[in-house]
């Protein structure tokens, strides 16, 4: 659900990603998606922190999301 919302620019995706991260805090896709949503909402510090954490876990996460049509 979070990815679909992220593709539409819906920042409520933050809640979806945060829910997933409660079960697995090292889920790179949820960290990255939440980071993008936070940036869209204007939370530069939080967004960049989530994106950096996602990249540290999975180096190819940026290209994965680009394949999904999200950048």
pLDDT at residue 71, rounded to an integer: 75
CA distance 6 to 47: 13
Contact criterion met (CB below 8 Å) for 35 and 54: yes
User: For 13-31, what is each residue's pLDDT tens digit?
Assistant: 999 999 999 999 999 999 9
pLDDT at residue 70, rounded to an integer: 83
Supply the pTM of this predicted model: 0.91
CATH number for the 2-67 domain, one of 3.50.50.60, 1.25.40.10, 1.10.10.10, 2.120.10.30?
A: 1.25.40.10
Segments in the chain below pLDDT 50: none
Contact criterion met (CB below 8 Å) for 35 and 47: yes
């Amino acid at each position: 659900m979070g990815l679909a919302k992220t593709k539409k620019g819906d920042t409520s995706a933050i809640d979806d990603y945060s829910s997933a991260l409660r079960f697995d805090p090292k889920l790179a896709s949820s960290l990255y998606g939440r980071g993008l949503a936070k940036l869209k909402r204007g939370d530069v510090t939080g967004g960049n922190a989530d994106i950096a954490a996602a990249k540290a876990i999975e180096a190819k996460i940026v290209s994965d999301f680009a394949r999904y049509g999200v950048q």
